[in-house]
């Protein structure tokens, strides 16, 4: 199939381009990028893309799958469909399933399940016109988009329990994208041993630094708002002390690591200093930590109960500046689905986490790019090329003869976040029932 996208805004962090072009796509490859393309085949599909944005397909560093074990929260198919609807062409799932992804057999089982979704899932992804509530999206007929590539994080410890190390070499041979428990590893002797073992394997290793003794039973960031709302606080030092310890081990051993879920201003300072000293680290924060601070918890919406918790306003400002400067390399989605029954509890009792694959790009664009706090290139880089680099992968430039791994996005389409407009099986988001601006039109991968 040949498609000509006319007058589309091309955002390419690889080539550092943000300009209007015509883009010709055929047989899975970009054939031509030019100001005006006229030489096309008679059967080519021509689309007027004025007002639309195209960029490299988005890459999610880490999210959670309900399958296996919690299929009522999310199946592998619904997760992949949700990722496609949000513009993602690659997604990486954490190993905290039931059973945990701590052995090659389960890796192979999930890879087989991904193969089984081909065909049954791809035809189910609707285009922008299918869900539109008015505006430019209604000019499009329903389109089909392929499901994203699935990458799997192998567990560092058996049953992600933080005690006994898995057979890392066997997991590497099974094709995991890297190693992570997605949970805090507080045994520093074990962390040191892991860093020594993974060094020759050539796979990323990701840690979530958090001192659970300091966190205790806290559910929101320590500060004035925690006192005002009467919720148990978590001090910033629960994160920063754990980051400092991890950085010391990295300095001693030299193994590259990725630091997950950065949420405090002091953490950004520690990471900036470590990078300036030449330590081989990358870091990510999650999309919600860039948009909301502790004041939002006034509503006691349990979808705002996150771990790590939302930061104070100074944390949010530091995280945004860190992403723009590249100190924080990537924005992760950390999509964490829970059923309605699990989340309908008191704030402190509800499990932490929120969905985000279908919401992150529209809301980040609306509140960071349209306000001109971020450039479009800065946001797109943090959602595509940079997370890929954290995984040891590359993203192709939007140039002729390169693979068409792309996301087409309408920043202006308004739609309502509700059950019928989401592909995820869960609805644990503070934006449920609200209208938001921006919607993915199509992906190629």
CA distances from 121 to 49, 78, 160, 285 (A): 26, 8, 30, 30
Q: Are 409 and 140 in contact (CB under 8 A)?
A: no
Write down the catalytic residue from 22, 315, 334, 410.
334
Tokens of 409: 């996005």
DSSP 3-state assignment of 275? helix
Tell me whether residue 43 is one of the annotated catalytic residues: no
Please return the burial class of 443, using the count of CB atoms within 10 Å of its CB with bins 0-12, 13-18 and 19+: buried
Q: Are 208 and 239 in contact (CB under 8 A)?
A: no
Would strands 233-234 and 29-34 be described as parallel, antiparallel, or unpaired?
Answer: unpaired
C-alpha–C-alpha distance, residues 157 and 181, integer Å: 7
Please return the burial class of 237, using the count of CB atoms within 10 Å of its CB with bins 0-12, 13-18 and 19+: middle
| 303-325 as b/e: b if 16+ CB within 10 A | bbbbbbbbbbeebbebbbebbbe
Catalytic center residues: 334
């Amino acid at each position: 199939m040949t498609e000509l996208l006319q007058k589309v805004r091309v955002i390419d962090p690889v080539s550092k381009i943000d300009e209007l072009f015509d883009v010709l796509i055929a047989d899975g490859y970009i054939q031509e990028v030019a100001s005006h393309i006229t030489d096309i085949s008679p059967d080519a599909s021509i689309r007027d893309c004025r007002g639309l944005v195209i960029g490299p397909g988005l890459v999610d560093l880490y999210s959670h799958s309900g399958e296996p074990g919690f299929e009522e929260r999310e199946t592998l198919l619904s997760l992949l469909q949700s990722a496609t609807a949000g513009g993602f062409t690659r997604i990486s799932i954490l190993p905290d399933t039931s059973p945990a992804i701590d052995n090659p057999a389960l890796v192979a089982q999930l890879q087989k399940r991904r193969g089984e979704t081909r065909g049954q899932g791809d035809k189910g992804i609707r285009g922008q016109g299918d869900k539109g509530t008015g505006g430019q999206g209604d000019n499009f007929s329903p389109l089909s988009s392929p499901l994203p590539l699935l990458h799997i994080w192998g567990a560092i410890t058996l049953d992600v329990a933080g005690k006994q190390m898995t057979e890392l070499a066997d997991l590497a041979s099974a094709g995991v994208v890297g190693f992570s428990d997605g949970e805090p590893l507080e045994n520093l002797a074990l962390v040191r041993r892991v860093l020594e073992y993974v060094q020759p394997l050539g796979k990323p290793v990701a840690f979530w630094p958090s001192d659970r003794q300091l966190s205790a039973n806290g559910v929101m960031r320590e500060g004035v708002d925690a006192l005002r709302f009467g919720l148990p606080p978590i001090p910033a030092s629960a994160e920063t002390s754990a980051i400092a310890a991890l950085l010391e081990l990295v300095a001693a051993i030299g193994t590259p690591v990725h630091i997950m879920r950065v949420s405090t201003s002091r953490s950004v300072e520690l990471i900036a200093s470590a990078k300036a000293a030449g330590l081989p680290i990358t870091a990510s924060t999650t999309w919600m930590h860039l948009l909301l601070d502790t004041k939002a918890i006034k509503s006691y919406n349990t979808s705002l109960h996150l771990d790590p918790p939302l930061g104070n306003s100074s944390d949010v400002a530091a995280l945004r500046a860190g992403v723009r400067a590249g100190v924080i390399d990537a924005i992760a989605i950390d999509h964490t689905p829970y059923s309605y029954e699990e989340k309908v509890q008191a704030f402190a009792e509800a499990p932490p986490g929120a969905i985000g694959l279908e919401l992150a790009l529209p809301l980040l664009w609306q509140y960071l790019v349209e306000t001109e706090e971020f450039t479009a290139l800065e946001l797109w880089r943090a959602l595509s090329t940079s997370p890929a680099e954290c995984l040891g992968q590359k993203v192709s430039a939007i140039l002729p003869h390169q693979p068409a791994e792309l996301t087409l996005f309408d920043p202006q389409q308004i739609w309502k976040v509700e059950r019928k407009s989401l592909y995820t099986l869960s609805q644990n988001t503070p934006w449920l029932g609200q209208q938001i601006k921006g919607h993915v039109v199509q992906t190629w991968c």
